[in-house]
Every structure is written in structure tokens, then in C-alpha cells.
Amino acid sequence: MSAKSTGKARWRHYNFTTAGPVDDYLYSMLPQRDPVLAEMEEYATQHDVPIVGPAVARVLQQLAMIINARTVFELGSAIGYSTIWWAQAVGETGRVIYTDGDRKNAERARGYFQRAGVTSRITIHTGDALEFLSEQKQEFDVIFNDVDKEDYPRVLRLVPPRLRKGGLFITDNVLWSGRVAEKNSTDARTKAILEFNRKLYDSRDFYTTILPIRDGLAVAVKK
Ligand SMILES: C[S@@+](CC[C@H](N)C(=O)[O-])C[C@H]1O[C@@H](n2cnc3c(N)ncnc32)[C@H](O)[C@@H]1O
């Protein structure tokens, strides 16, 4: 059943990590978003675009504020919803790299960036995000990972040399609607996330926690 017919936003991940009423309470606490972000949330709801949504986006922006981030590389940007939150966090002199494999997404995102007044802070790259990251010579303050889940272990291998010491490697969907708790899963995406989470916690490069918000957000500080 589509989001349009149920009126529910798939990006909310209702009831997986926080019980329904508590989840509703958390969302009810969020301040109103500006009109462009609100319109994007509505578009994502109507078209089942898997954006992080406002509860997680606020965490992303807060983490960027805490480390005074000025450069963000985002893997998997879709219509640019999380990109705008990063762009607001890095300020006028900051830079955010948007990446997505889908040209239509990038075109839609470009329009939103203009209307949100953040175009000058964002570089749009259409194509494979992992390939583009592997070409980067600079160290970023934040690398945000939201690509196809099978690629998560490969992303983890690419990140350490491209993140500054004290920088944040942040990954969405690491609880995968609770499927990480299933015994002996044979699903390729679940297995990739399990491998990713294990390796991230075991890595000597990072100090990691998983925040059980929405679909699970892994926050790893580069040592
Ligand atoms: C979960 S959505 C991103 C949502 C976005 N971060 C937000 O919260 O607003 C994942 C996006 O990643 C893109 N994607 C997946 N794998 C990719 C890859 N290897 N390279 C580039 N884009 C990729 C898909 O096209 C999709 O639009």
C-alpha cells in the first residue's frame, strides 16, 4: 500500500525502535521546518522517498554543530533533504558534497537547493558515490553514509583516510527496521549491515555508538 493511500510516511519507520506513542511524542517535539524542508517531507511521503526525516536530520545538524564541521561528504543524497540540513549546519563558508546515482533526483535536489538559498554551499555529483569518494584527496569533517546497504562494508574501507581526526563518520539505517536482531538472516542487505556494524565497532580507527533513533544511526568518531 502506498504512502499516499495510508497517509503515513514510510521514512518515519513507525514503531521499530521506539514504541508508537513515544515515537509520536518525539516527532511532536520537533520545531516546524522551513517551507522548503516541509515541502520535501511531504513529497517524500507522497512518493515513498526514503529520507532521514526531521528527527534524525536534527541529530545530524547537532553533531555538525558540536564539531564545528565545515566540510561534509554525503553518500546517497536522493532529493537533497539531508543535504540541506548539512548545508545549514556548515554555514556560508562551508561545503557539502551531494552524491546520487539518479539524475532525476539530482535535478529535483538542485531546485530545492536554490529555493532554500544554499546552492553556493553544495557541489552536486551525479554517479557512483563510492567511486567519487575514492577520488577525494582532502580530509572531511563529516562523511555521511546513506547508500545501498550492500555497499556499507565497502564504504567503511574507503572512509578512514578521507576523514580528519575528530571527524564523524555517520551511517543511517544500521538497525534496518529491527532485522539486525534476526537470527541467521540470509538477506544480503541485512548481512551487509551486520558485517558493517561489527567491523565499525571493532575498528581501531573509530570510537562508535549506535543511536536507536528511527532506523538506527551509527556515529563513529575518528581517533
Ligand atoms: C536513502 S536515500 C538517501 C536519502 C537522503 N540521504 C536523505 O535523507 O534525504 C538513498 C539514495 O542513495 C542513492 N544511491 C544508492 N547507492 C548509491 C551509490 N552507490 N552511488 C550513488 N547514489 C547511490 C539512491 O539513488 C538513493 O537516492
Q: Is 114 left (phi over 0), alpha (psi -120 to 50) or beta?
A: alpha
> Which one-letter DSSP state was computed for residue 74?
E
Instruction: Please tell me if the CB atom of residue 102 comes closer than 6 angstroms to any atom of ligand 1.
Output: yes
pLDDT given for residue 3 in this prediction: 65
Instruction: Please tell me if the CB atom of residue 129 comes closer than 6 angstroms to any atom of ligand 1.
Output: yes
Q: Please give the number of the atom of ligand 1 that sits closest to the Cα of 44.
A: 9
Q: Is 53 left (phi over 0), alpha (psi -120 to 50) or beta?
A: left
Q: How far apart are CA 173 and CA 175, in angstroms?
A: 6
Q: How far apart are CA 167 and CA 223, in angstroms?
A: 8
Burial of 144-171, coded b for 16+ CB within 10 Å and e otherwise, reads: bbbbebebbbebbebbbebbeeebbbbb
pLDDT given for residue 2 in this prediction: 65
Instruction: Please tell me if the CB atom of residue 171 comes closer than 6 angstroms to any atom of ligand 1.
Output: no
> Which one-letter DSSP state was computed for residue 67?
T
pLDDT given for residue 223 in this prediction: 98
pLDDT given for residue 86 in this prediction: 98
Q: How far apart are CA 213 and CA 215, in angstroms?
A: 6
Pocket test for ligand 1, best of 75, 97, 104, 150 (most atoms within 8 A of CB): 75
pLDDT given for residue 61 in this prediction: 98
Residues near 46 by Cβ (< 8 Å), separated by ≥ 6? 3, 4
pLDDT given for residue 17 in this prediction: 75
Q: Per-residue pLDDT tens, the chain, 223 aa: give them.
A: 566 667 788 877 776 777 788 899 999 999 999 999 999 999 999 999 999 999 999 999 999 999 999 999 999 999 999 999 999 999 999 999 999 999 999 999 999 999 999 999 999 999 999 999 999 999 999 999 999 999 999 999 999 999 999 999 999 999 999 999 999 999 999 999 999 999 999 999 999 999 999 999 999 999 9
Pocket test for ligand 1, best of 77, 96, 103, 157 (most atoms within 8 A of CB): 77
Nearest-CA residue for ligand 1 atom 15 is 147
DSSP per-residue string spanning 148-198: -GGGHHHHHHHSGGGEEEEEEEEEE-TTGGGGGGSTT---HHHHHHHHHHH
Q: How far apart are CA 114 and CA 186, in angstroms?
A: 43
pLDDT given for residue 8 in this prediction: 81
Q: 50 C-alpha to center of ligand 1: Å?
A: 9
Question: Taking the model in full, what pTM does it have?
Answer: 0.95
Q: 15 C-alpha to center of ligand 1: Å?
A: 23
Q: 90 C-alpha to center of ligand 1: Å?
A: 21
